[in-house]
């Protein structure tokens, strides 16, 4: 759409309000609303003002004025508000220079797409994230100076098999056995379908939905792959829709990577391919039907994987999932079918159009604009520098002898370790001014001060179990 078409679209849908949305630096969608009378063709050039100092990781108080300029192509009708409301995703600009703001995650994504085209390697990067999540019935948590706790609950939780439910009808998925029995064991089929229907009403193509491995409502809904910026926008809609559909049904959704102890965590396996002039570049006659460019792309991700984790697995909780010896793909290697490898080559289809690499380490706590852009930059660096990914890992990782296992590099063990890796390896992100040094520095500073240090300062309840009687 262009500006005229958006105004016509709003009139046809009897729109009363306009909701302007953008993503803050760490990765949460923000919004404010104006009456439809405030939206004109000029709005798509002049934007709307707001206080940038109140957005996490952005402006200081003495330079707080910012503009958000709506992108006409993003126009959708919100499916949840009582009054007809037009939603427009915006780009952040400096009100003095009218230059795109370097710390706007969406701007980073736009620059990544432009950089891809400038390299001559291809014209489109397709991304297909599999964002898993949990649907809980209740969540409670608190952290005081003298007390700390969390509690999540679900009617599906196997720990409730002995609970008085008047009556308790059983059929609760056992730990690691939620993939994927039919109802009544799976109690969330209709809710996931409702989520799918709302997503499709917004023009977001859905491929499948199902229960996931863990007990207590772990689930997955797969979006059809889409170009980089479009998919990053869609991931925000995806989270928004799932949370709101759950909320209106008296449930709650979380994309936290590891909310349960001793059961599967929540990942976001991300499928990546590059096309040029309508032709896939990752299909060929090399290993697993890949092209040489695809192997170099895998080499780029593996080379920079530890730094990428600072953006693709950006929470301290992320590393409760990325633990060697468990289900998470922490081994920095590639394989056609081995799901313990960081990169898997899906073998479901022999079609050249289906050839892609699947980066399995990321989780859905990430800021999609920044994480996807960083993955693309690693892929391009691999192709540009012809980075050899080494031999594939086609062995059972759990059966390897210790000396052979020790030779396989691993993902970082903590967010602090990942941030240190990013500090030492980010030149590939600076190409084409996609990421700036300011963005890298602020990301490391924000995450260290507001998350790593804050977690390190607080006693953990399990420490009382371990140490109180010493």
Active-site positions read 51, 130, 132, 212, 220, 269, 339, 358, 360
d(CA 59, CA 95): 12
Q: Report yes or no: 119 and 380 within 8 Å, Cβ to Cβ.
A: yes
**Pairwise CA distance, residues 259 & 370, whole Å:** 24
**Cβ distance 344 to 338 under 8 Å?**
yes
Q: Tokens at residue 254, please?
A: 């979380």
Q: Pairing state of beta strands 206-211 and 218-223?
A: antiparallel
DSSP code at position 449: I
Specify whether the CB–CB gap between 195 and 245 falls below 8 A: yes
Show Cβ contacts of residue 384 under 8 Å, excluding neighbours closer than 6 positions: 119, 121
**Ramachandran sector of residue 47 (left: φ over 0; alpha: ψ -120 to 50; beta: rest):** left
What's the CA gap between 399 and 115, in Å, rounded?
42
**Structure tokens belonging to residue 430:** 């600076």
Contact between 339 and 213 (Cβ < 8 Å):
no
Q: Do residues 154 and 173 lie in contact, with contact meaning Cβ atoms separated by under 8 Å?
A: no
**Quick one: tokens of 4?**
């005229």
Taking a C-beta distance cutoff of 8 angstroms, is the pair 57, 76 a contact? no
């Amino acid at each position: 759409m262009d500006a005229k078409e958006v105004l016509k679209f709003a009139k046809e849908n009897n729109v009363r309000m306009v909701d302007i949305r953008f993503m803050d630096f760490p990765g949460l969608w923000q919004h404010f609303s104006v009456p439809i009378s405030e939206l004109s063709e000029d709005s798509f050039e002049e934007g709307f003002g707001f206080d940038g100092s109140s957005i996490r990781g952005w402006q200081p108080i003495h330079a707080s004025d910012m503009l958000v300029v709506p992108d006409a192509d993003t126009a959708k009708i919100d499916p949840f508000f009582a009054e007809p409301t037009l939603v427009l995703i915006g780009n952040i600009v400096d009100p003095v220079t009218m230059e795109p703001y370097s710390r706007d995650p969406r701007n980073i994504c736009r620059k990544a797409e432009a950089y891809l085209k400038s390299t001559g390697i291809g014209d489109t990067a397709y991304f297909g994230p599999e964002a898993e999540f949990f649907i809980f019935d209740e969540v409670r948590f608190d952290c005081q100076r003298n007390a700390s706790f969390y509690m999540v609950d679900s009617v599906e939780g196997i720990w409730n098999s002995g609970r008085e439910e008047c009556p308790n009808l059983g059929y609760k998925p056992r730990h690691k056995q939620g993939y994927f029995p039919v109802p009544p064991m799976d109690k969330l089929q209709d809710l996931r379908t409702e989520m799918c229907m709302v997503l499709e009403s917004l023009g977001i193509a859905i491929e499948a939905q199902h229960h996931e491995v863990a007990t207590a409502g772990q689930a997955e809904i797969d979006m059809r792959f889409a170009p980089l910026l479009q998919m990053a926008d869609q991931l925000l809609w995806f989270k928004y829709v799932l949370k709101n559909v759950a909320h209106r049904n008296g449930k709650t959704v979380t994309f936290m990577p590891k909310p349960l102890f001793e059961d599967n965590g929540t990942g976001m396996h991300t499928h990546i391919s590059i096309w040029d002039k309508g032709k896939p570049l990752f299909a060929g006659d090399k290993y697993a039907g890949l092209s040489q460019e695809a192997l170099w792309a895998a080499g780029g991700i593996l080379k920079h994987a530890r730094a990428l984790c600072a953006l693709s697995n950006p929470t301290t909780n992320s590393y409760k999932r990325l633990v060697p010896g468990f289900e998470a793909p922490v081994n920095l290697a590639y394989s056609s079918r081995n799901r313990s490898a960081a990169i898997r080559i899906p073998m479901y289809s022999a079609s050249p159009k289906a050839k892609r690499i699947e980066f399995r380490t990321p989780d859905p706590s990430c800021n999609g604009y920044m994480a996807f852009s960083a993955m693309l930059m690693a892929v391009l660096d691999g192709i540009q520098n012809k980075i050899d990914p080494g031999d594939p890992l086609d062995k059972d990782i759990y059966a390897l002898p210790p000396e052979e296992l020790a030779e396989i590099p691993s993902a970082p063990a903590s967010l602090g370790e990942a941030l240190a890796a990013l500090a030492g390896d980010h030149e590939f992100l600076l190409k084409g001014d996609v990421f700036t040094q300011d963005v890298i520095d602020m990301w490391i500073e924000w995450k260290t001060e507001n998350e790593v240090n804050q977690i390190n300062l607080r006693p953990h309840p399990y420490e009382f179990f371990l140490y109180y009687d010493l």
